[in-house]
A = this chain, B = another copy of it.
């Protein structure tokens, strides 16, 4: 049994974040929290999202797992205004999710949760850490896109630098340590990542005050952030593109 209600703006941020990486996702409802882990089909990008039940307006459930195509619920969310409420209900074994948004009701087909790949997130211990605002990171993503499909994060001296190289231009975004909320590293390091997996984050991180970025020499990128007053915690992982790869 599941019966949860949340504001549409919360629902859409959750779904948009997951959509950066996957089309379908499994939602594990626990006693006091909702857990989601997704990985893209080539196992390059992963998201781990944990949501406190306090973010929801209704939270009545037995522990259960439900999987569905993200866009099916996103489309419904798009019908309403940010402050409207979406109610989701499910009963064991029906294969359907009942969604209610004002006088609109949807019977949404779910997916067998056992068919969804749930990644085991690698333990990470990034040696380079910077904290900056969501808007700073949006500017990084837009600037890097001018240079191509890949971006390189580097840290050395007093600077954190993002760069991207294309046929006609090399773009760099430079941050002095004083312009960052946190700036920490042991040894100079740099690492390259595919922009395609990061670009969709644009939509969700605009108002995020602190984005925690961790990386290292040819090491995965970890981006941690929270929204809805900390009730939703997102850990985003992206494998490095080792230079020499095609």
Q: Which positions in A face B, CB cutoff 8 Å?
A: 69, 72, 75-76, 79, 103-109, 139, 142-143, 146, 167-175, 179
Contacts and interface: CB of A to CB of B under 8 A. Distances in A.
Kindly report how many copies of this chain are found in the complex they form together: 3
B72 A171 contact: no
Contact of A76 (B76, B146, B179): B146
Given A103-B179, A173-B103, A143 B108 contact: no
Contacts of A167: 109
B72 A105 contact: no
Nearest to A171: B106
A202 to B, nearest CB: 13
B169 A106 contact: yes
A79 B143 contact: yes
Contact of A106 (B72, B139, B146): B146
Interface centre among A69, A105, A142 (most CB of B within 10 A): A105
Contact of A109 (B139, B168, B173): B168
A169 B139 contact: no
Contacts of A169: 72, 75-76, 106-109
Contacts of A170: 106-107
B79 A172 contact: no
A192 to B, nearest CB: 17
A132 B180 CA distance: 51
Given A75-B146, A143-B79, A146-B76, A104 B168 contact: no
Contact of A105 (B106, B109, B142, B173): B173
Contacts of A107: 169-172
Nearest to A145: B75
A108 B168 contact: yes
Contacts of A142: 79
Contacts of A104: 139, 143, 171-174
A166 B36 CA distance: 26
Interface centre among A104, A105, A167 (most CB of B within 10 A): A104
Nearest to A173: B104
A157 to B, nearest CB: 15
A7 to B, nearest CB: 18
A169 B103 CA distance: 16
A155 to B, nearest CB: 15
A106 B143 CA distance: 9
